[in-house]
Every structure is written in C-alpha cells, then in structure tokens.
C-alpha cells in the first residue's frame, strides 16, 4: 500500500498548498502585527502569480526534463551492451472508465507511456515489462490494465507483468527481480521526462543498468509562447507544481532509499 503521509506533506509543501498556508499565516499575523502580516500575504500572492505563469512552469519543467535528452537508438547502442527489455512504468489509472464498460482503465499519462513503449518495441523488437500495482487497494493491478491496453490499443504483447509495486522505488525493486530471473541486466526505461531523473536514480541505485527513454516533454503552444504565457492560468500552476514535486520527490528518495545494492550482474542466480 502507498504511504499517505508523504503525499499529504507534499501537498502542503508544494503550490498551491504552501502558498495558501503562508497566506493564512499572514492573515493571522495581521491580527497582532499588521505590517508583517500584510507583507507575508503580499509575498504569497506574488508567488502564486509567478508560479501560475505558463512560461514559469515551462522553464521549471525544462530544468528537470533536460537532464535526460530524447533517446537516440544508435547512440544508446554504442554506449554499452545491448539492453534486453523495455520497462514501462505506470502513471496512474482511470477509475471507473464507464465509456469502455469494463471498470478501471489506464489514465492518459500511462497511455502516453504505453504509446511510446509500443513504438520503441517496434523499433527494437525487445520484450516489454509493465510495472504498476494496487497502491490504494484496487481490485486490478495497474500493470494488468497496462497489459490489456497494449494488446487492445497497440497490438503489442507483454512479456512480464510486475503487479506488486506502489511507488517508483518498488517499480524498480520488483521489476529487477523479474529481469534478473530472465538473465536481463540492462533495459530501456520508459516514463515521462520529468519523472525520469527519479526513476533512473532508483533503478541504478538498485543495480539495474538503464538507458533512459523519456517521453512526454513539456511544450508550449504558439499562443502561450507569444501572449498567454505571460498571464496566470491553471495550466501554468500545474506545470510549476509538477516540476517542484519531482524535485522534492527526488530529494526525498535520496534521503530514504540511498542504500546501493550490488549490480544485477553480481547477484547470485535465482534458485530453480
């Protein structure tokens, strides 16, 4: 099961939660110290304005997405031994997808990852591992939904279904067990570009050699680049919040999980 406390803490530490908390603090301080309280409220509103600009969100996302550029297969092949599989990380579920009449399905983030994973599979011919469990006690694992979507929507079969994980760390931990049992120690890793730094850190820290295959890079449309990018919007705030959340998530993972394990090649062979 997923840990709820870190998610609540993140909501309070990231916009708009942290800004609302600061604004409320400013209002309370105004009761006793009018100038100090008014200053905190003004700074909170200014921060909300800046973080709500699409251009701000775009730049914050670029700062994390550019750590791993788009995959170039020729370059990746020259950099070391060939990978043996494509690992696609789940990005969430679409609960009660009534239009399909079949209960839950994958959400748009997961669907985007599956689309690119299927594209990579057609280019390389490598088998696919999908990873995602039931973090909130759902009846069907996200990986099973991913397997169904790959077969139905992209006509691609899935070799391995990792259905126990509740977060990115467990994605790597349980995927590694399946990969090592199959004699695979290097993989293409598919997830959103903003999530890739955290995902790569976890997989490498657990001893899985990864070739990042990021997708879903943030772009601005023509209107946002020229005019609307200078006006606050929900889209701009969402981009800023996502970028800051990934930075916070990577910091938290490094604090909690910074315990290197032996490389996959050094592990003993699984018992038969």
Does residue 250 sit within a domain? no
DSSP per-residue string spanning 101-140: TSS-EE-HHHHHHHHHHHHHHHHH---EEEE---TT--SS
Mean pLDDT over the full length of the chain: 87
Does residue 251 sit within a domain? no
Same domain membership, residue 37 and residue 139: no
Same domain membership, residue 92 and residue 192: yes
For the chain, give the percent of residues with pLDDT over 70: 82
d(CA 205, CA 59): 28
Express each pLDDT in 83-107 by its tens digit.
999 999 999 999 999 998 879 999 9
Is the pLDDT score of 194 beyond 50?
yes
Same domain membership, residue 209 and residue 74: yes
Does residue 253 sit within a domain? no
Question: Domain tally for the chain?
Answer: 2
Express each pLDDT in 115-128 by its tens digit.
999 999 999 999 99
CATH number, domain with residue 161: 3.40.50.620
Same domain membership, residue 177 and residue 83: yes
Q: How confident is the model at residue 225 (pLDDT cuts 50, 70, 90)?
A: confident
Query: ∠ CA 9-110-159 to the nearest 5 degrees?
Result: 120
Q: How confident is the model at residue 150 (pLDDT cuts 50, 70, 90)?
A: very high
Same domain membership, residue 82 and residue 209: yes
Considering 3-7, 39-43, 58-62, the range whose residues carry the highest mean pLDDT is: 58-62
Same domain membership, residue 152 and residue 80: yes
Pairwise pLDDT comparison (58 vs 6), residue with the higher score? 58
Q: What is the DSSP letter of 26?
A: H
pLDDT at 233: 86
Range of the structural domain that residue 49 is part of:
4-62+224-245
Same domain membership, residue 178 and residue 81: yes
Considering 28-37, 40-49, 146-155, the range whose residues carry the highest mean pLDDT is: 146-155
Half-sphere exposure of 149 (CA within 13 A, CB side): 28
Q: How confident is the model at residue 192 (pLDDT cuts 50, 70, 90)?
A: very high
Same domain membership, residue 79 and residue 42: no
Same domain membership, residue 147 and residue 77: yes
**Residues composing the chain:** 272
Q: How confident is the model at residue 229 (pLDDT cuts 50, 70, 90)?
A: confident
Same domain membership, residue 233 and residue 198: no
Is the pLDDT score of 60 beyond 80?
yes
Q: Which of 198-202, 217-221, 231-235, 257-261 has the lowest mean pLDDT?
A: 257-261
Same domain membership, residue 94 and residue 12: no
Q: How confident is the model at residue 114 (pLDDT cuts 50, 70, 90)?
A: very high
N- to C-terminal Cα separation, the chain: 29
Using left for φ > 0, alpha for ψ between -120 and 50, and beta otherwise, residue 183 falls in: left
């Amino acid at each position: 099961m997923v840990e709820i406390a870190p998610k609540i803490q993140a909501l309070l530490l990231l916009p708009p939660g942290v800004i609302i908390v600061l604004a409320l603090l400013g209002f309370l301080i105004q009761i006793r110290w009018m100038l100090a309280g008014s200053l905190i409220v003004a700074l909170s509103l200014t921060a909300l304005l800046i973080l709500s600009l699409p251009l701000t969100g775009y730049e914050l996302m670029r700062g994390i997405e550019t750590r791993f550029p788009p995959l170039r297969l020729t370059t990746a092949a020259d950099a070391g031994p060939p990978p043996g599989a494509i690992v696609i990380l789940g990005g969430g579920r679409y609960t009660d997808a009534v239009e399909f009449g079949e209960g839950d399905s994958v959400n748009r983030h997961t669907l985007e990852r599956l689309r690119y994973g299927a594209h990579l599979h057609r280019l390389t011919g490598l088998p696919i591992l999908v990873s995602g469990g039931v973090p909130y006690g759902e009846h069907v694992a996200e990986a099973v939904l991913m397997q169904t979507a790959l077969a139905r929507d992209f006509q691609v079969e899935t070799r391995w279904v990792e259905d126990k994980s509740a977060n990115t760390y467990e994605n790597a931990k349980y995927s590694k067990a399946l990969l090592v049992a199959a004699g695979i120690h290097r993989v293409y890793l598919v997830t959103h570009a903003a999530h890739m730094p955290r995902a790569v850190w976890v997989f490498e820290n657990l001893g899985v050699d990864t070739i990042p295959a990021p997708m879903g890079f943030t772009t601005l449309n023509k209107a946002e680049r020229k005019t609307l990018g200078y006006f606050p919007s929900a889209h701009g705030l969402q981009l800023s919040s996502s970028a800051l959340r990934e930075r916070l998530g990577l910091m938290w993972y490094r604090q909690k999980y910074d315990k290197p394990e032996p490389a996959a090649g050094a592990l003993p062979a699984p018992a038969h």
